[in-house]
Structure 1
Amino acid sequence: MTRNIIFFVLFFSICTLFAEHVVVRFDNPSDEIISKFTANEYDVASYKPGEYLDIVVPMDEYNDLLESGYSVRITQTEEQLKVNLNSGTDLAGYRDYEEFLAELQQIEIDYPDICKLYDIGDSWGKIYSDNGNTNYDDFQHEIWALKISDNVELEEDEPGIYYLAEHHAREPISLEVVMTVLEHILDNYGTDPAITDNINNQQVWFVPLVNPNGHKVVTDEVETMWRKNIRDNNENGSLNVTGYNPSDGVDPNRNYDWEWGGASTSWTSETYQGPSAFSEPETQAIQELMAAHHFVAGLSYHSYSELILYPFGYADGVIAPDQAALSELCTDMAVTISGQYGGTYTPQASWALYPCTGTTDDYAYGMYGIFSYTIELATEFIPPAYQVEDICLNNIEASMIMLDRTSHSILLGHVTDSDSGLPIQAEIFVAGIDDTGVYRNPYISDQEFGTYYRLLTDGVYDVTFQAYGYEAQTFENVIITSDDQTVLDVVLSNGSATASVSGVISDANTGLPIENAVVELLDYGIPAVTTNAQGEYTINNVFEYSYDMQ
């Protein structure tokens, strides 16, 4: 009997050892290594072109890499990250969920005129627990958002800025940075003219902990390399986040609905994209937040690599229409953030690092034109607690550049109806920008106020405003300058010019005409038509406008 117990303990210890995850580094990786190990089945921790590629693997896979002849070395272990969580000097480790929430609640009490705390969604843990599964009672977490603005209870005619953190559980340094940015704004509101003006004229939102369930997995040291949320993929009603290839969880930053579907489809992958876009309550909360407010720009914090990334990132070579302005702001922020061991953060397009789909930035920019950036903090997932304060303080200036971005090099105004004076949802088309790059949705003035915002580089532009049923207007030689905002209010008149749309529908293979095919201009209630025996169709008396057709 004693021998059996000893054998079991030895067997369990060996299994635990080989289930432990480590970060391994390829120094100066070749193109072949980069191509192989940035594919979806690998958990890429960090990549700096020309320097290194880090991936997260179980210990046995590290041994397999060595046996296969790869030159790799371990840079981070789970035990090291546990030590880093709790080895504070000035800082006593990292905030847990309860400490974080208590702090936000106290901020709302201390700053009632400018701060309002919102519960914007439930986590899987809370959903499961509320449905009677006691295995998740310790994970009853909500997703919290704090709004800062004067007249904080009102939805004002102002641009929005956001600061998001910790989509990925093993990146708690991101929460610490966002809380530091929040504290900096509150400490200086009313005394610093720039911060005061920006808060009084914008609506600023903080979501410091997007993935609270995953955060608990890490801060409780259940699994310090955990990246995902805790979705019960195998539906066994219990938490499976440890051991070899645990089956639970979805990567929130592969779950957004812009070019979703290119990440991993395996439950056990750290980049599992989920069963569908926005399948996760965490990403649904951010989706609803973005839909409810007129955000112009924002930051999403991660770790690690000391990089700032801008969209797009879903495929190689996907150049955004706003490439110049996106890159300019990225560089302006990056050069202000000191690296831990010298230099500053590196600015670059997301796709130039390695392509990934379903990300926050791609969705925010593709869907709404939001200038959304990812800041990859530090040089490891969980820096030692004694380094946290410096990392946080080093990121203050960049966060204030973001806060101030709508004060200059921007075209803004209102679009209204010439007869009623009511706001109009109109498309704002900037020549030389919106006709370049890959597709993103057009910029549209908002429904409630008719307000639009376009972040641009300094220069001279031709800008066209168009809305269905109205005469389009083009303004030439609109000057954008870094000295101030450029305000252009536009009044559109009801359109009278109509046109006909006609064509022929034919079989792609045979070239023969297709009879009775249905042709429709979408979204505006225009009756569909069908083709005749020659495959011909005509839609008469439609307003001159840009339509989607099917």
Structure 2
Amino acid sequence: MSSTIFLLLATLSLLILSTLSTSISPPLYRIHSTNPSLAREEIENFLLGLGEKGMNDDLDVLAHDDMYIYLAAYPNNAPIENVSSDDQEADIAAPPTSEKSSVYHLAQFLNKEAFPVKISSQIQYLGRIGSLLNPAGLPVHHQALNGKIPDGYTSPQKMRSFFEKIALQNPDFVSWVDLGRTFATNLTSIEGRPVNALRINVQSDPAQHKPSVLFASCHHARELITPEIAIAIADVLTAGYQQGDVHISKWLKEYDIWIVPVVNVDGHEFVWSTDNMWRKNRRQLREKSAGRPAAFGVDLNRNYDLGWDSQGGSQEFESETYRGAAPFSEPETQIMKAFSERMHFAKVMDFHSSGQQVLVHYTRTKMPEIMTRFIAAEGKELAETAKYGVRSPSDDAEHQEWQIKRNTAYSFLVETGTSFQPPFPVALQEVRRVWPAVVTFLERPITLRGRVTDASGAPVPNANIVVKQVEWLAGETRNSNPSTGTYHLFLPHGEYDIEVSAQGFSGEVRKVVVSEDSQVVDFVLQSS
């Protein structure tokens, strides 16, 4: 798997940095260099040679470290003060793959000793870094509203604009979905905000009934690396598909992908406006009274129902892990529940910080030993690609654990970074570091999938699916999708008896041998 990931990452090595202040600044580029021994003077001499060949852009190297070259591009030799937004759209926005692009030639020069760069797979998510680089080569940005968040992170308003723009630019296969309105009878957050997701769903053969994949971020408001990862995934997938990247095209044709950049929308706003270390949502638990302060907030990642009643989270209002009055007491988790039960996600990756670890299986709730070992091994493979560690979750009642209970065994929490809000360049390094785990996650075949239909071919919704050799212990369910009748199972290699039943139908048992590859096994139920 590691060599495959290396090649995939090679196609994603050119990062285009558009600007916030486009009226006064040129487009910025960051190019991955696989030849760090090159001196800045060698690079500048190479560019001087290009300048004599009539390129359509003039480049200025701003910084050079062991991994990247940072540079600015001036269209048609225009001085910086004369570069307008319209000029950049006309001269630079197109993929720099032509013989007239200095960026293209420089990327080839920097990488020729290792591999050719496939520049058509551009990543454009770094535009919000800002318009300048300081002498140390670190991106700078506007000051955060509360003066405490490090420069560079994407504010809630800019984040919404980013995702809305992606949907508007790619209407054929991208949509920005209000999850509460679509799946949960118009639910909003405590303070009335929508919980949104970007859906990337390339139309393919309807008979394929694509499985769904979920990326979620920011259950905990202060963990600001995680929305940046969501932004990166969205931009890589949409830009890569538009530019014909074969790997990304395969993923988008195979999966219906959903990205929730911020689950805790109220807490995220509060982090930016008032308290950058706020973790929970903004439910008021207690009013201020004599000798006792007001209390706010439920830990959304202790509000799911796996182990909530016995072991998940704290019962104290003041605790940062206060679990809420009941499982799914909060509108944000109710939205995630309704959304997930409709979509029946086959794969789930939930980003948090910090720790640089992949969290696997349950914490204290009992799980069948065969599945504990299997999920741990799968999580270890993900972790190794990012050079992360592996551990059990912090507690029960977490989102990714509930997804194992309700929908799929292929569900993981990824603790990114070593702090909640590191300097933004460090956060971007973490985005890059975690990307191989995202690739591995998407590449992993679903071991067993299919449809449950009646004799006419119509889907049988919510059929109960039981693996005889796996005795789940905490009320876990596996059902066919209520709309399409599809199902999916992640199982270790071996032979299994799969029983499928539904009200009004005779049950069916099939013997299945699970191997490394994905296989499709359909069930046709007869009316009883």
Equivalent of 1:332, from 381, 406, 423? 381
How do 1:115-134 residues align onto structure 2 when only pairs under 5 Å count?
115-121=174-180, 123-124=188-189, 126-127=191-192
Q: Deviations over 1:189-229 (max 9, x none)?
A: 15222221221222110100111221122223x22221111
Matched residue SS, 1:278: coil
Q: Deviations over 1:326-384 (max 9, x none)?
A: 223211210011xxxxxx2112332xxx4x23211222111223522110111111111
Q: Deviations over 1:418-465 (max 9, x none)?
A: 3x3332243332233x22x53342322223322111122333333333
Give, in angstroms, the shift of residue 85 of structure 1.
2.7
Q: Is the 8 A contact 2:383 2:437 kept in 1?
A: yes
Q: Is the 8 A contact 2:189 2:265 kept in 1?
A: no
Matched, 1:98 2:157: yes
Instruction: Specify whether residues 251 and 486 from structure 1 end up closer, same or farther in structure 2 by C-alpha distance, changes over 3 A only.
Output: same
In 1: Cα distance, 2:440 partner to 2:157 partner: 31
In 2: Cα distance, 1:362 partner to 1:320 partner: 16
How do 1:486-497 residues align onto structure 2 when only pairs under 5 Å count?
486-495=519-528
How do 1:387-426 residues align onto structure 2 when only pairs under 5 Å count?
387-405=426-444, 408-418=445-455, 420-424=456-460, 425-426=462-463
Matched, 1:346 2:389: yes
Matched, 1:275 2:325: yes
Percent identity among equivalent residues? 28
Equivalent of 2:150, from 78, 82, 86? 86
In 2: Cα distance, 1:326 partner to 1:101 partner: 34
Q: Which residue of 2 aligns with 1:309?
A: 359
Give, in angstroms, the shift of residue 142 of structure 1.
2.3
Instruction: Specify whether residues 156 and 210 from structure 1 end up closer, same or farther in structure 2 by C-alpha distance, changes over 3 A only.
Output: farther
Give, in angstroms, the shift of residue 316 of structure 1.
6.1
In 1: Cα distance, 2:521 partner to 2:501 partner: 14
Q: Which residue of 1 aligns with 2:266?
A: 213
Instruction: Specify whether residues 409 and 150 from structure 1 end up closer, same or farther in structure 2 by C-alpha distance, changes over 3 A only.
Output: closer
Equivalent of 1:148, from 200, 206, 230? 200
In 1: Cα distance, 2:369 partner to 2:231 partner: 30
In 2: Cα distance, 1:219 partner to 1:232 partner: 19
In 2: Cα distance, 1:297 partner to 1:244 partner: 44
Matched residue SS, 1:393: helix
Matched, 1:166 2:218: yes
Q: Which residue of 2 aligns with 1:545?
A: none
Equivalent of 1:195, from 235, 248, 258? 248
Q: Deviations over 1:291-336 (max 9, x none)?
A: 22121111111111111112322x2654566334322321121001
Q: Deviations over 1:511-547 (max 9, x none)?
A: xxxxxxxxxxxxxxxxxxxxxxxxxxxxxxxxxxxxx
For 1:295, give the aligned amino acid: F
In 1: Cα distance, 2:245 partner to 2:475 partner: 37
Give, in angstroms, the shift of residue 260 of structure 1.
1.9
Matched residue SS, 1:413: strand
Q: Which residue of 1 aligns with 2:41?
A: none
In 1: Cα distance, 2:190 partner to 2:505 partner: 49
In 2: Cα distance, 1:145 partner to 1:469 partner: 36
Equivalent of 1:466, from 475, 478, 501? 501
For 2:451, give the aligned amino acid: H
Equivalent of 1:177, from 221, 229, 233? 229
In 2: Cα distance, 1:376 partner to 1:348 partner: 10
In 2: Cα distance, 1:390 partner to 1:94 partner: 13
For 1:293, give the aligned amino acid: M
Q: Which residue of 2 aligns with 1:547?
A: none
Matched residue SS, 1:206: strand
Number of aligned residue pairs: give it. 372
Q: Deviations over 1:18-61 (max 9, x none)?
A: xxxxxxxxxxxxxxxxxxxxxxxxxxxxxxxxxxxxxxxxxxxx
Q: Is the 8 A contact 1:115 1:146 kept in 2?
A: yes
Matched, 1:258 2:306: yes
Equivalent of 1:439, from 464, 474, 482? 474
Q: Which residue of 2 aligns with 1:5?
A: none
Q: Is the 8 A contact 1:423 1:448 kept in 2?
A: yes
Instruction: Specify whether residues 368 and 440 from structure 1 end up closer, same or farther in structure 2 by C-alpha distance, changes over 3 A only.
Output: farther
Q: Is the 8 A contact 2:218 2:227 kept in 1?
A: yes
In 1: Cα distance, 2:433 partner to 2:507 partner: 47
Instruction: Specify whether residues 459 and 84 from structure 1 end up closer, same or farther in structure 2 by C-alpha distance, changes over 3 A only.
Output: farther
In 2: Cα distance, 1:143 partner to 1:330 partner: 28
Equivalent of 1:427, from 464, 469, 481? 464
For 1:379, give the aligned amino acid: T
For 1:173, give the aligned amino acid: I
Deviates more, 1:154-163 or 1:451-460: 154-163
Q: Which residue of 1 aligns with 2:341?
A: 291
Q: Is the 8 A contact 1:124 1:231 kept in 2?
A: no
Matched, 1:375 2:414: yes
In 2: Cα distance, 1:244 partner to 1:166 partner: 30
Instruction: Specify whether residues 109 and 244 from structure 1 end up closer, same or farther in structure 2 by C-alpha distance, changes over 3 A only.
Output: farther
How do 1:227-246 residues align onto structure 2 when only pairs under 5 Å count?
227-235=279-287
Q: Is the 8 A contact 2:366 2:473 kept in 1?
A: no
How do 1:440-455 residues align onto structure 2 when only pairs under 5 Å count?
440-455=475-490
Deviates more, 1:370-379 or 1:117-126: 117-126
Matched residue SS, 1:389: helix
TM-score by length of 1: 0.62
For 1:474, give the aligned amino acid: V
In 1: Cα distance, 2:488 partner to 2:348 partner: 14
For 2:499, give the aligned amino acid: T
How do 1:1-12 residues align onto structure 2 when only pairs under 5 Å count?
none
Give the CA RMSD over aligned residues: 2.8
In 1: Cα distance, 2:281 partner to 2:258 partner: 22
Higher Cα Rg, which structure: 1
In 2: Cα distance, 1:334 partner to 1:144 partner: 28
For 1:491, give the aligned amino acid: V
Q: Which residue of 2 aligns with 1:10?
A: none
In 2: Cα distance, 1:288 partner to 1:236 partner: 34
